[in-house]
Amino acid sequence: MDLYDALQTSSSGLSAQRLRMNLISANLANVNTTRTPEGGPYRRKEVVFEAKPNPGAFRDALKAHQGKAPADVQASKIIEDTRPPLQKFAPQHPDADAEGYVRMPNVNVMEEMVNMISATRSYEANVTAIRAAKDMALKALEIGK
Amino acid sequence: MPQPIGLFDSTMATLQRTLDLRTAQHQALSSNVANADTPHYRPFEVAVEEEMRKQRPPAARQVDLVRTQEKHLPVGGAAAGVSAALRPVPAPAFSLRADGNTVDLDRTMGALADNSLKYKTSAQLLSGKLKSLRNVIQGGR
């Protein structure tokens, strides 16, 4: 348990939030995509985070599994939103069905924007934690100078 | 004959212990920040002040230098390892989160800044102690 572990934990937070940001970008970029390799419209994607015990001494790892010790964060899986696609009336669209409705992605731009701000703030919080760890380590290096 | 006092006094041991505890606290807070969006994550922290109050460095694990002459300056051994108990952070009174996560990011960031500042203060004090020791060794030159 030292400052390097703290740096690693904060870095895992940065990486997780960056992945979240990438998925938000993908969702926004595909807000009008009606064709995908799997068929049908694009489906909104979201990441699920989980706490991952810091690798280290067995005792620490055991405690971390019980939720009593510092843990990194990692993306455990990427899930697709199960909400039904939006139906849009556009008879001229090549993907329209017999009644003139097109199935559009279930992406809500408003929701993505809010998520984006949340991801940005979390990223910044981790950056601040890294900066604090760095300052502390540098200050410790000055001991005895 | 006056008893020689130790080269490194108890203040230094206390400062060392503070630095160890603050490092552990930073690690815990970093973990809380990194997991601020993890479902069902429960934050925890090190009660630094409480640990300091009950703390006496574990004597059994100290190694002292052998003194063959009683006028030798006693050099205290370093207190080995930190054993900081972690306690759960109480959940905020009002939370609108539905994912079971009880991290209060604002409070955590505040604690992080506070902890970092106090770490730096202790490091500076320790540095000052060593500086004055060196000053004495060099005879004030």
**How buried is residue B53: exposed, middle or buried, by Cβ count under 10 Å (0-12/13-18/19+)?**
exposed
Q: For chain B, what's the residue count?
A: 141
**Please, which residues have CB within 8 angstroms of residue B81's CB and are 6 or more apart in sequence?**
B61
Chain B residues 55-94 with a CB less than 8 Å from chain A:
82, 86
At residue B105, φ and ψ (nearest 5 deg) are -65, -40
Which pLDDT value is given to residue A22?
Answer: 95
Which pLDDT value is given to residue B60?
Answer: 45
Taking the C-alpha atoms of residue A121 and residue A115, their distance in angstroms, rounded to an integer, is: 10
CB-CB under 8 Å, A143 with B123: yes
Which pLDDT value is given to residue A55?
Answer: 65
* Residues of chain B contacting A121 with CB distance shorter than 8 Å: 105
Taking the C-alpha atoms of residue A112 and residue A106, their distance in angstroms, rounded to an integer, is: 11
pLDDT, tens digit, 9 for 90 and up, residues A59-80: 666 666 666 677 889 899 999 9
CB-CB under 8 Å, B105 with A6: no
Residue A79: alpha-carbon gap to chain centroid? 11
- The low-confidence residues of chain A, meaning pLDDT below 50, are none
Taking the C-alpha atoms of residue B111 and residue B114, their distance in angstroms, rounded to an integer, is: 5
* Residues of chain A contacting B78 with CB distance shorter than 8 Å: none
Which pLDDT value is given to residue A103?
Answer: 93
Q: Which amino acid is at A70?
A: P
Which pLDDT value is given to residue A122?
Answer: 95
Alpha-helical regions (H) of chain A: 3-29, 58-65, 109-141
Tokens of A111: 């929701």
Tokens of A22: 């990438």
Taking the C-alpha atoms of residue A140 and residue A36, their distance in angstroms, rounded to an integer, is: 54
The conformation of residue B2, written as its DSSP 8-state character, comes to P
Q: Is ipTM beyond 0.90?
A: no
The continuous run of DSSP H or E covering B49 comes out as: helix B48-54
Taking the C-alpha atoms of residue B3 and residue B73, their distance in angstroms, rounded to an integer, is: 9
Q: Are B33 and A125 in contact (CB under 8 A)?
A: yes
Which pLDDT value is given to residue A10?
Answer: 94
* Residues of chain A contacting B122 with CB distance shorter than 8 Å: none
Q: How many CB atoms lie within 10 A of CB A134?
A: 14
Q: Are B89 and B43 in contact (CB under 8 A)?
A: yes
Residue in chain B lying closest to A9 (CA): B31
Assign A107 to helix, strand or coil.
Answer: coil
Which pLDDT value is given to residue B77?
Answer: 55
A43 interfacial to chain B (CB closer than 8 Å): no
A127 interfacial to chain B (CB closer than 8 Å): no
Taking the C-alpha atoms of residue A126 and residue B34, their distance in angstroms, rounded to an integer, is: 6
Neighbouring C-alpha atoms within 13 Å toward the C-beta of B3: 3
Assign A27 to helix, strand or coil.
Answer: helix
Q: Would you write out chain B's pLDDT as a tens digit for each of its 141 residues? A: 565 566 777 788 888 889 989 999 999 999 999 999 999 888 989 988 888 887 665 554 556 677 787 777 766 655 555 567 888 888 887 877 888 888 998 899 999 999 999 999 999 999 999 998 899 899 988
Residue whose tokens read 């540098």 = A138
A102 interfacial to chain B (CB closer than 8 Å): no
Taking the C-alpha atoms of residue B107 and residue B124, their distance in angstroms, rounded to an integer, is: 26
Q: How many CB atoms lie within 10 A of CB B58?
A: 11
